[in-house]
């Protein structure tokens, strides 16, 4: 006999509702997660426990789990059960992450965020090469035909959380440390300023969408987890666009935070 669930942990089904039974169960599990009855990383009741509690079939319970998995709220581990997905570990404070003081300390933006999250940062899948600019990048950089592209994947505590490609004008980047796999302390923005391109401001465009198959593979995304697609353009003090960064982030890895002026 399956062990019974603690009293009050989950409610009862409403036989008068026109909502499908498996969706009612998903609703109750979602509500319990939202109220903290099941915490991050905690295992949900087993199929057997839910079958016993609700008096339904295993297939009905599995359909309920599928709803929550599709929402990115939980994930299944083969042979172990279904677990509540952790909340985003990285708080991305857009108004501070590119502050000059961080570059002067030799820290890139991702290193600043990783330090704040208390995680171990890594960069892999690194590729640096000259290539033809696509129409969007070309337009943002002033109708350039070719650019230096820097592609890299960021990991936090061994988990892929972000994939970014920076595009820079060849007349700035060619033959400099920016074109090397390791651009040095402070990253490419520190090198740009050393080359006389004092950074003045950034423009970011953000949208959320579902990932492509390649992005699912690159970021090891679970079913139902969307991505944050961000395109950032960096401008120097002369008003020239000196970099375009196309970034895809796992939505379950980041909280986007902004500090806005009051006037």
Q: Each residue of 137-169: pLDDT tens digit?
A: 999 999 999 999 999 999 988 889 899 999 999
Instruction: Pick 80 or 86 by higher pLDDT.
Output: 80
- Can you read off the two tokens belonging to residue 249? 């982030």
User: Structure pTM?
Assistant: 0.71
- Any idea which of 25-29, 77-81, 88-92, 218-222 has the lowest mean pLDDT? 88-92
The closest alpha carbon to 98, from 8, 19, 190, belongs to 190
Q: Is 89 left (phi over 0), alpha (psi -120 to 50) or beta?
A: alpha
Predicted pLDDT of residue 108: 66
Distance CA 200, CA 239 (A): 8
Pairing state of beta strands 90-93 and 227-236?
unpaired
What is the reported pLDDT for 252?
Answer: 83
Please say if the pLDDT value at position 92 is more than 70.
Answer: no
Secondary structure of residue 175 in the 3-state scheme: coil
The span from the CA of 71 to the CA of 201, in Å, is 36
- Looking at residue 4, its pLDDT comes to 72
According to the model, what pLDDT value does residue 98 have?
A: 63
For tokens 């008068």, what's the residue?
16
- Rounded to whole angstroms, the Cα distance separating 198 from 245 reads 17
Beta strands in 62-158 (DSSP E): 74-77, 81-84, 90-93, 121-132, 146-156
Kindly report the average pLDDT of the chain as a whole number: 87
Number of Cβ atoms within 10 Å of the Cβ of 93: 16
Residue 256 has pLDDT above 80, yes or no: no
């Amino acid at each position: 006999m399956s062990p019974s669930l603690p009293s009050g942990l989950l409610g009862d089904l409403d036989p008068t509702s026109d909502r499908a039974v498996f969706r009612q169960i998903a609703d109750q599990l979602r509500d319990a997660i939202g109220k903290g009855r099941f915490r991050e990383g905690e295992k949900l009741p087993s199929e057997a426990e839910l079958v016993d509690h609700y008096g339904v079939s295993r297939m009905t319970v599995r359909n309920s789990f599928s709803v929550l998995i599709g929402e990115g709220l939980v994930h299944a581990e083969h042979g172990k059960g279904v677990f509540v997905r952790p909340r985003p570990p990285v708080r991305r404070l857009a108004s501070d992450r590119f502050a000059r003081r961080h570059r002067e300390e030799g820290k890139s933006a991702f290193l600043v965020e990783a330090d704040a999250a208390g995680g171990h940062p890594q960069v892999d899948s690194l590729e640096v090469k000259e290539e033809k600019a696509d129409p969007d990048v070309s337009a943002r950089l002033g109708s350039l035909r070719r650019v230096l592209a820097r592609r890299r994947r960021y990991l936090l505590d061994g988990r892929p959380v972000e994939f970014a490609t920076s595009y820079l004008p060849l007349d700035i980047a060619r033959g400099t440390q920016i074109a090397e796999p390791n651009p040095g302390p402070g990253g490419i923005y520190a090198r740009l300023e050393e080359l006389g391109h004092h950074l003045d401001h950034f423009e970011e465009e953000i949208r959320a969408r579902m990932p492509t198959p390649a992005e699912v593979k690159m970021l090891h995304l679970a079913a139902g987890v969307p991505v944050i697609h961000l395109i950032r353009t960096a401008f120097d003090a002369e008003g020239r666009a000196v970099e375009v960064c196309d970034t895809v982030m796992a939505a379950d890895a980041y909280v986007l935070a902004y500090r806005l002026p009051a006037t």
